Structure 1
Amino acid sequence: MPAAGGWQIDEAARARAIASHDIESLRDAANLKSITDFAAALCDAPIALVSLVEERRQTFLARTGLDATETPRETSFCAFAMRQDDIMVMPDATRDPRFADNPLVTGDPNIRFYAGAPLIADDGTPMGSLCIIDTEPRAALTALQRQGLTTLAEQVMARLRDSRDAASWRDSNNANHRALTESHNRFRVLADSMPQMVWSTLPDGYHDYYNARWYEFTGMPEGSTDGAEWNGMFHPDDQARASALWQHSLATGEPYQIEYRLRHHDGGYRWTLGRALPLRNDAGEIVRWFGTCTDIHQAKEASEEREIISQELSHRIKNIFAVISGLIGFSARANPDFRGIADDLRERVTALGRAHDFVRPHSARSRPAAEQNSLHGLLDELFRPYQSAEGARIVVTGDDVAIDDRSATPLALLFHELATNATKYGALSSDAGRIHVSSAIDGDATILGWQESGGPAIDTPPAETGFGSQLIELSAVRQLGGTVTRDWRPSGLVVTMRIPTKALSRG
């Protein structure tokens, strides 16, 4: 609508500015009423108002000496006052053509004198005015009254800004709350749709959420496993272990992972894989833990069945090695001239048996301490019969190269042959003798070293055409695709083998 005074006002912008305030919280507020009371007393006027001019009305947020709470905008004096840069003073409304026929002049409250200090927002948007009204004409306001009315208008605007900031904070807080609620609802829908059991805890580990899968699996009433009650759902033999590991994760922030037996709703226990990770804030502090429980019972049973079959197969293979050794011994007894060869052959079969036992599938109880793909682990197992109680006579150092069941057999034969020869003729035939075995990765090859010391001095290198030498060549060269060099030093034998690393492990 055209603005009084001849210039346009963006009413849409004014409406948004007014809507950004919590107007209802200001209506008849005591702090605004004290301002109109003081304005009326300061100006010796019977009426004082805080008027907010809206699109179709002016509403009185605070009033002194007037019962009405609003009037139509077309009768508003404040709609003119709010457009001024200073206080608008109307000495006698009956003599001003703009207001002479105004119902508020010709009728109740019979306005004659009007003075209004504009209420202007920080961005320049006019909001209304703080005005005083008299039913008798006046010449003007005193300087003190003008200063006081301006100061009081500033106080009104301070209250309006407070209401705007409070409304903005409340809207933001409500928006955050709605967003949080929506996010929480999405999480619950997502968690309930997952096949795994999902749970979360507070930073101190207090369990306060489980998804629908948890309650379906356990058959427990909702909320009955909150707090520390979750541990009671585990098999009694697993409770202490699960609790200790969980406390460790809480103390260190390390991921939680464990296999345990969880009580099913049918009363039995099923193997479950439990995992949890911490959620941290920008400061790195843990604000929540999220975890899952996955039913692995069938996979666990299948794995145990495969392990039993593998162990039975390995046991039978070991029996075959034992039968072969027995047959060799039986043949040696029947043919005394064959005894020396038989003893060597039986030892080689025994070495193969140890290599097989190292790489074969194991249970948790029978598994070797070393990783089963470890070259050093295999060598430690092969050299155990040659070590002494006083200390290791064969020391293994260097890079621990990965091996597999395919390379374990030729490696076992190769190093068994070297150790056997060292026992008969080399370093291990003397109490002071020692052997250093080294391994190092060189590009795409692995360099294996064998160095004897402290044994009998070597005057003349032996011939390299014996069966043992041929067996070493067979293992290193033909089966592993490598090369072998021997150096018969006076201090002891030095053997260097270069093996393609890919021949040691399929990986």
Structure 2
Amino acid sequence: MKSDPDIEHGRPERLAARTSDDVDLRIGGDAAPLPGVAPEALLAAIIEGSDDAIVSKTLEGIVTSWNPGAERLFGYTASEMIGQSVRKLIPQERHMEEDAILRQVAQGRRVSSLHTTRLRKTGASVRVSVTVSPIRDGNGKIIGASKIARDVGALELARQQLAESERRFKMLADNMSQLAWIADSQGWIFWYNKRWFDYTGTTLSDMEGWGWKQVHHPDHVDRVIERIQKSWDSGELWEDTFPLRGRDGRYRWFLSRARPIHDENGEIAYWFGTNTDITEQRAQAESIETLLTEVNHRSKNMLTVIQSLARRSAPGNDEFLKRFVRRLEALAANQDLLVRRAWTRVEMHELVRAQLAFALDIAGTRIEFDGPEVDITSRGAETLGMALHELATNALKYGALSVDGGKVSIAWDDRDGRFQLTWRETGGPEVMPTTRTGFGTSVIRDIPVTVLDATTSLNFSKDGASWSFECDSATVIAH
């Protein structure tokens, strides 16, 4: 049986009207009383002790009983309300609502959990949940109504806030550029945002749990599963790059990340993940790499031409040609490193190995180097690479590496915003400072000062040559 349309009119709440499931308020009914407690006393205790407002009224809406809960909720005492119309509690615009309630009760129908507005004695409104049931006499005749009212203002406010929070989350989740998903602590995915379904053309039932495997490329899915399972097991952040199939059957590349969400006890409760489309970025990076490789190839061809021209222009000057060619080779080695790193950064250990490769082949373990793993900018790599190459060349020809037992120690550090690099030779012949400044000296001492705003020091002693370099970390360290 449907509820009275008058009750539904003008309010969004749902009104449940059911076939009579009436409250029997007849004294001396079939209820089993507590031992030694009269049924009347038990019923009175329940009504008096209830936090809810429990009110009885005639079919004309005149209040006939008023418990302490009603006094606390509405502010009126029993003496102020008994004998008065219940409409005293009802806003004028909701009087038709009361008419409809009384009609339903008179027909033996119960009104259940009606969310509505009532008035306190102060005139302030209060949101309540109301249940109204018929009261019958000993012959079963409906003689009035019992009403239970409960304050739901705080509950409705919490519901409204929750609904608003959910609305904002949905708005954010469905309009972000990434595909997004949420999994439980074991990696069972139970939620995806709209972007995921728009891209993949799937449904939640298709993707729930481990269903996402079906949109992964078969050449990558096993690797992805292995890596993400390690994160599920260890709780570590997850990051991977792989292709995902779209609704059109084509694959696009995504950078994917997931992080654990912890509960108040520090335990992993959920995982939140995103997939960011990087197809265009990958294509651009590949184009740049191809271009850099081509530039590197052409520049090496140019260096070869320069070497050929140098040999023809300075015949008989073998020593000059040898040093000149090695400097060209050092430039080429730097280029190879930078091209492999997209001309952005070079790790310091890798830079030292590349520039000293020719010296390491000759001196082996007599060259030692150590320092933290730091990435050097392309400009820093070119400048420091050439300086290290010149120092190694001089050490092989004149310094510690020119004799058995001589050693070279290279060390660097990045501390307190300053980057330091030192070259120290020991066990070699005594080296005297040169009286002229050639290209090699300029590469070691002057160019770093000009290019990197550094401080350099080149010293000669009986123990061997030493060189130090220091500059602002921000100048040479790639971030």
Does TM-score exceed 0.5, indicating one fold? yes
The SS at the match of 1:431 is coil
Aligned to 1:452: 425
Q: 2:43 aligns with which of 37, 50, 54?
A: 50
- The alignment status of 1:211 with 2:193, answered yes or no, reads yes
Aligned to 2:274: 292
Question: How many aligned positions are there?
Answer: 371
Q: 2:300 aligns with which of 301, 313, 318?
A: 318
Q: Gaps spanning 5+ residues in structure 1: where?
A: 1-22, 42-46, 59-70, 75-81, 84-162
Relative to structure 1, the CA distance from residue 342 to residue 225 in structure 2 (aligned partners, 3 Å threshold; closer, same or farther) is same
Aligned to 1:148: none
**Structure 1: distance between partners of 2:206 and 2:392:** 65
Q: 2:351 aligns with which of 367, 378, 389?
A: 378
Q: TM-score, normalised by structure 1?
A: 0.61
The SS at the match of 1:403 is strand
The AA in structure 2 aligned to 1:263 is: R
Aligned to 2:328: 349
| 1:385 shift after superposition | 1.9
Q: 1:307 aligns with which of 274, 280, 289?
A: 289
**Structure 2: distance between partners of 1:188 and 1:31:** 53
**Structure 2: distance between partners of 1:56 and 1:414:** 99
Q: How does 1:30-179 map to 2 (within 5 A)?
A: 33-35=31-33, 50-51=43-44, 57=57, 73=64
- The alignment status of 1:426 with 2:399, answered yes or no, reads yes
**Structure 1: distance between partners of 2:414 and 2:42:** 93
Q: Given that residues 445 and 457 in structure 2 are in contact (C-alpha distance below 8 angstroms), is that contact kept between their aligned partners in structure 1?
A: no
Relative to structure 1, the CA distance from residue 30 to residue 281 in structure 2 (aligned partners, 3 Å threshold; closer, same or farther) is farther
| 1:409 shift after superposition | 3.0
**Structure 2: distance between partners of 1:470 and 1:179:** 70
The AA in structure 2 aligned to 1:426 is: G
**Structure 2: distance between partners of 1:39 and 1:470:** 109
The AA in structure 1 aligned to 2:180 is: V
Q: Given that residues 178 and 274 in structure 2 are in contact (C-alpha distance below 8 angstroms), is that contact kept between their aligned partners in structure 1?
A: yes
**Structure 2: distance between partners of 1:442 and 1:259:** 34
The AA in structure 1 aligned to 2:292 is: S
| 1:228 shift after superposition | 0.9
Relative to structure 1, the CA distance from residue 173 to residue 355 in structure 2 (aligned partners, 3 Å threshold; closer, same or farther) is same
Q: 1:496 aligns with which of 468, 473, 477?
A: 468
**Structure 2: distance between partners of 1:434 and 1:199:** 58
| 1:203 shift after superposition | 1.7
Q: Given that residues 289 and 339 in structure 2 are in contact (C-alpha distance below 8 angstroms), is that contact kept between their aligned partners in structure 1?
A: no
| 1:445 shift after superposition | 5.4
Aligned to 2:94: none
Relative to structure 1, the CA distance from residue 26 to residue 178 in structure 2 (aligned partners, 3 Å threshold; closer, same or farther) is farther
Q: How does 1:224-239 map to 2 (within 5 A)?
A: 224-239=206-221
Relative to structure 1, the CA distance from residue 481 to residue 390 in structure 2 (aligned partners, 3 Å threshold; closer, same or farther) is closer
The AA in structure 2 aligned to 1:360 is: V
The SS at the match of 2:326 is helix
Q: Between Structure 1 and Structure 2, whose CA radius of gyration is higher? A: 1
Q: Gaps spanning 5+ residues in structure 2: where?
A: 1-20, 49-53, 66-76, 79-147
| 1:345 shift after superposition | 0.5
Q: Given that residues 180 and 193 in structure 2 are in contact (C-alpha distance below 8 angstroms), is that contact kept between their aligned partners in structure 1?
A: yes
Aligned to 1:410: 383
| 1:185 shift after superposition | 5.3
Query: 1:253-306 deviations in whole A, cap 9, x for unaligned?
Result: 222222210001111101122222222211112222222222222222222222
Relative to structure 1, the CA distance from residue 28 to residue 427 in structure 2 (aligned partners, 3 Å threshold; closer, same or farther) is farther
The AA in structure 2 aligned to 1:493 is: A
Query: 1:438-490 deviations in whole A, cap 9, x for unaligned?
Result: 234587754432211222x32x6253426333443443444444454443322
| 1:341 shift after superposition | 0.7
Aligned to 1:358: 337
Aligned to 2:225: 243
Aligned to 2:264: 282
Query: 1:178-234 deviations in whole A, cap 9, x for unaligned?
Result: 876665455334322333322211221111122222121111244211111102211
**Structure 2: distance between partners of 1:493 and 1:227:** 66
Higher strand share: 2
The SS at the match of 1:342 is helix
- The alignment status of 1:487 with 2:478, answered yes or no, reads no
Q: Given that residues 257 and 274 in structure 1 are in contact (C-alpha distance below 8 angstroms), is that contact kept between their aligned partners in structure 2?
A: yes
Aligned to 2:436: 465
| 1:383 shift after superposition | 1.3
**Structure 2: distance between partners of 1:499 and 1:39:** 93
Relative to structure 1, the CA distance from residue 417 to residue 35 in structure 2 (aligned partners, 3 Å threshold; closer, same or farther) is same
